[in-house]
Amino acid sequence: MPNALSSPLSRRGVLAAGGAVGLGVALAACGSGDDGAKDADAGAGAGGDAKAGPWSFEDDRGETAKADSVPKSIVAFTGTAAALHDYGIEVKGVFGPTTTKDGKPDIQAGDLDVTKVEILGNVWGEFNVEKYAALAPDLLVTAQWVEGELWYVPEQSKDKILKLAPSVALWAAETTVPKAVQRHADLAGSLGADLKSAKVTDAKARFEKAAGRLRAAAKSKPEIRVLVGSASQDLFYVSLAKMSADTLYFQELGVKFVEPKVNSQGFFEELSWENIDKYPADIIMMDNRSSALQPDALTSKPTWARLPAVKAGQVVPRVTEPIYSYDKCAPILDDLAAAIEKARKVA
């Protein structure tokens, strides 16, 4: 597997390594678009300005982070920091995939200026607690893929980390894209973002237009089947669409997906490279994270080259860990809509 971790792999370790792409259909514990309303008075005033005085925010664990004033020294998982940036909230430090081996911004960094943030860890299991403490953090923010677990916060140092500042965790899996985007907007608003700004409202309008386009594309070509894949050197993973925020939402919009026979965890099926033609597909969406092998690295595998979707040029990137802002999610919907509009039945 990419980014090999110590054995045995935890469920979130498998997720980070690129094999799985989400956990669980929406549960009662997950955030929703309505959940954020109760946080509106926790810091976001008219026009989005944070109120003076005490600050609080109830996260998707059901825990409430509190501070004497609106947090300013914020440290966040890279993708979450990128979402806050899109709403105008900047962080001082990040952890998680931030830069690639050549020093360029990782795909999960979005529009963050990675030269202006303290990188506390760039890979799974890496989090420099001393550097974190030196930032005098007011708030730690990350995602939640497995209930109760903080994404990219190492288990062995979690207690030390959580003693230094309040924390907020937002669902990245047991939810859908609109709900996740709304929850990130709720948090940004509580931290002082102007959610009524033209930048935010225009991005939301683009998102809603793109969702309509994807719905129309799926309706016009109901025969097209999409496979959700992720590649490692030894295995090819086929994921169950309803188990992840993005693909569950695509399903709600009408996209038809291949349904693999998942393993005991229920999220994906592992296939050997000899058997990757098990499921006929017209479009293949490939995990775009740096932890997964990309299509241009698979040319030496003959079974890959023989897949109908590959031969037809109908392989597209999949943003497996979306940056949950309207600005970053609108293109994801547009890109899939365009792929379906152009696709022909090949499987």
- DSSP state letters, 62-128: S-EEEESS---SEEEEHHHHHHHHHTT---SEEESS-B-TTSPBPGGGTT--GGGSEEEESSTT---
**Confidence (pLDDT) at 181:** 97
**Confidence (pLDDT) at 94:** 98
**Confidence (pLDDT) at 4:** 28
Token pair recorded at residue 85:
């940036």
Question: Using CA atoms, how far apart are residues 202 and 312, in angstroms rounded to an integer?
Answer: 35
Coil, strand, or helix at residue 1? coil
Asked if residues 126 and 153 have their Cβ atoms less than 8 Å apart, the reply is no
**Confidence (pLDDT) at 263:** 86
Q: Which of 118, 152, 109, 106 lies closest to 10 in space, CA to CA?
A: 152
Name the average pLDDT for the chain.
87
> What values do phi and psi take at 301, rounded to 5?
-95, 110
Question: Using CA atoms, how far apart are residues 216 and 255, in angstroms rounded to an integer?
Answer: 10
**Confidence (pLDDT) at 16:** 55
Peptide bond into 8 cis (omega under 30): yes
Question: Using CA atoms, how far apart are residues 172 and 21, in angstroms rounded to an integer?
Answer: 10
**Confidence (pLDDT) at 266:** 77
Which residue in this structure is represented by tokens 């050197």? 233
168: CB partners within 8 A, 6+ apart:
57, 59, 65, 139, 140, 141, 142, 187
Q: How far apart are the first and last CA of the chain?
A: 28
Helices marked H in the chain — which ranges? Answer: 11-17, 78-86, 129-134, 158-162, 177-190, 198-220, 245-252, 302-305, 308-311, 326-342
Asked if residues 271 and 307 have their Cβ atoms less than 8 Å apart, the reply is no
**Confidence (pLDDT) at 143:** 95
Higher-scoring residue by pLDDT: 171, 43:
171
Q: How does pLDDT run across 81-121, given as a tens digit for each residue?
A: 999 999 999 999 999 999 999 999 999 999 999 999 999 99
pLDDT-derived band at 6 (thresholds 50, 70, 90) equals very low
Could you tell me which residues are beta bridge partners of residue 229?
238, 286
Residue 239 has pLDDT above 90, yes or no: yes
**Confidence (pLDDT) at 23:** 35
How much is the average pLDDT of 139-168?
A: 95
Percent of the chain with pLDDT strictly greater than 70 = 85
Higher-scoring residue by pLDDT: 105, 13:
105
Q: How does pLDDT run across 41-89, given as a tens digit for each residue?
A: 334 333 345 567 799 999 999 999 999 999 999 999 999 999 999 999 9
Distances (CA, A) of 292 to 17, 184, 243: 7, 26, 19
**Confidence (pLDDT) at 14:** 54
Asked if residues 50 and 191 have their Cβ atoms less than 8 Å apart, the reply is yes
Which range is least confidently modeled, 13-22, 26-35, 227-236, 238-247?
A: 26-35
**Confidence (pLDDT) at 25:** 32
Question: Using CA atoms, how far apart are residues 43 and 70, in angstroms rounded to an integer?
Answer: 7
Rounded to two decimals, what is the model's pTM?
0.84
Higher-scoring residue by pLDDT: 258, 28:
258
Asked if residues 28 and 17 have their Cβ atoms less than 8 Å apart, the reply is no
- Single-letter code of the amino acid located at 36: G
Which residue in this structure is represented by tokens 């799926």? 218
pLDDT-derived band at 136 (thresholds 50, 70, 90) equals very high
Coil, strand, or helix at residue 225? strand
